[in-house]
Amino acid sequence: MNALSHPHWRLLVAALACFAAAFALASATGLARSVPELLRGIGVTATVMFGGSAVAIVVAPVAALCKLYGGSAIRWLAIGYIETFRGTSALVQLFWLFFVLPHFGITLEPLTVAIAALGLNIGAYGAEVVRGAVLAVPRGQWEAASALNMTQSQTLRRVVLPQAWVLMIPAWGNLLIELLKATSLVSLITLADLTFKAQQINQNTLQTVEVFSIVLLVYLGLSLLITLGMRQLERRASFGLARGPGT
């Protein structure tokens, strides 16, 4: 089979084509001089994206396991976090951390607010993904581990979570793309991300169609790269699970 016919290669080619098309459009419409500004905006967007992803990936399994197996107080604390961040707007959460916290004597930098708000927001959705994946592992796995005198924590660590991890990767891919799209909100708390830079360039050039077509292509290219990364991760995780630990 031709290497370029592999789905992963097609995703990479499509992502590169989006970036190439964005640059070509900028050059053809006289916006090439704005490319450095857009690149700086992409840098801010990527920083928020990676920072928020790190927060979400850490918080989600903790919240999910607390909801499933924590004591009464811990369980309700986890439920409160999940339902609050799933049930309210990410934009309101950004504004609350940025504009309301200073009234309580807590002032955070815009970048910190962006990473924390978006990470906690996506982490709440991720917690439900983790919970669903853990519950999807057949009950027989628990019973087999119990027959081997494994504790609950050993069963989770050695048996359940490795299987649940494979199940949750596709959903996490969707969540990370949602996080990427949500980064456009951070321009409203003074962060000069890709969307903010596009708005500035549009105001200076009045080339609305061209500017936002370029930005659309860039966001599409970035989302395709995320999809590619998650597909590769899913493939490796499935292969590792099939081989089993220590093989």
pLDDT tens for the chain, 247 residues: list them. Answer: 444 446 678 889 999 999 999 999 999 988 889 889 999 999 999 999 999 999 999 999 999 999 988 888 999 999 999 999 999 999 999 999 999 999 999 999 999 999 999 999 999 999 999 999 888 888 877 778 777 777 777 777 777 778 888 888 889 999 999 999 999 999 999 888 999 999 999 999 888 999 999 999 999 999 999 999 988 888 877 665 555 544 4
CB atoms within 10 A of CB 63: 27
**Domain 3-237 - what CATH class?**
mainly alpha
Amino acid letter, 23: F
- What pLDDT is recorded for position 246? 45
| Long-range contacts (CB closer than 8 Å, 24 or more residues apart) made by 24-32 | 25/210, 25/213, 25/214, 25/217, 26/210, 26/214, 29/207, 29/210, 30/207, 31/201, 31/205, 31/207, 31/210, 31/211, 31/214
Domain range annotation of the chain? 3-237
Taking each helix axis from N to C terminus, what angle separates 35-69 and 110-136, rounded to the nearest 10 degrees?
A: 40
Residue in 108, 114, 119 with CA at minimum distance from that of residue 59: 119
Per 3-state DSSP, the chain is made up of helix, strand and coil in percentages (nearest 5) of 85, 0, 15
Asked if residues 17 and 219 have their Cβ atoms less than 8 Å apart, the reply is no
Asked if residues 212 and 202 have their Cβ atoms less than 8 Å apart, the reply is yes
Distances (CA, A) of 240 to 132, 139, 179, 234: 21, 22, 27, 10
The SS3 call for residue 9 is helix
